[in-house]
Every structure is written in C-alpha cells, then in structure tokens.
Amino acid sequence: MSKSDTNVYFRPAIRSFLRELVFFTIGMMMYLLPLLILKSIIAYVPFELNFLSQKMIFVFTYYIGMALMFWAILSVCIGVLANRYKLSSEYVESVWGIIARKTARVELSSIRTVNVSQGVIDRLLGVGAISFSSAGTSGQDVIFRRIKYPLKLQALVNSRRRAVSASIPMGPY
C-alpha cells in the first residue's frame, strides 16, 4: 500500500447544517406566503393599517424571505466547499477557503491530545468537532468541524498515532 492510499479526506457533513435548514424553511414561508403573513399581522394589530403600510409589510416579508433563503443556501455551499480536512499516515491537515486559503497542519508524532466535542443536537445527528493539540502550543492547532462520526475518526487518528510512535526509534542503539 502506497502512502497516497492511506490518505483519508473529509468535508463537513450536510446533515450538520440543521440551523440553515430552519432558516431556509422560514424564508420559504415568508417568500411564498406574504399575503397570509400580512393577514395575520392585520388581525392582531389594534389599529387600522392603510394601503401603503400593508404594501410595505407585504414587500418587506417577501424580500426578507428571499434573503433568508439565499443566506441559508450560500452558508451551506460555503461551509461544505470551503472546508477540506485530510488525515494521512503522517499528519492531519485542515484547509479553509475558496479564494484565499488558510492551512493548519500537525504531524501525528507531535499530537498530544485528540478531543471530540458534540452538543445534544450534534449527537442526535451523528456529527461533531474533533480538535488536535500539539506539544508546542497551548490551544488547538487543527479543528475538524461538522464531521460525521467523530468518535470513529478519533479512534482512527489514535491508531495511526500509535503506529507512528511505534515506528519512531527511541534514541541511539
């Protein structure tokens, strides 16, 4: 098996964009049903709205709905396309960016901790963040966000770390 065969590539999981799905749904309702929203606002307003006010509410609802849908779609596309993660037999690497690029890389031999963080919703969806800390820094050096099955990835990284540490000679013979 060559070294290129041991590379594993990751991208953020689509199912982790639940917040964007909620905003898209609200935006779709505002975009498609502004008249219904206008009627419900008129029913609860204690005073009479003139035609211009009604038209402003209608247009405002329509364009806010369109903006929410656009934001949700753009957020998911950028989140998925801009983040790339790589686990090789020698290092972990995080690359972020579409036009400009930011790269963070840590050698497996210098990784000291591999932490997984998952909230309640993340656990239900089977996604989470995994962070890698090296010996020379105080914080996390590389973070894989919105990854599917982060505990499996943590186990894979730990097994590769053990394989790398077993292959490194421990001093002069």
pLDDT for 10-53, tens place per residue? 999 998 999 999 999 999 999 998 888 888 888 887 888 888 88
**pTM (two decimals):** 0.77
Same domain, 7 and 42: no
| All residues at 6 or more sequence positions from 139 whose CB lies less than 8 Å from its CB, including other chains | 133
Could you tell me if residue 62 is inside a domain?
yes
For the chain, what percentages of helix, strand and coil (3-state, to nearest 5) are there? 55, 25, 25
Same domain, 108 and 55: no
Same domain, 93 and 73: no
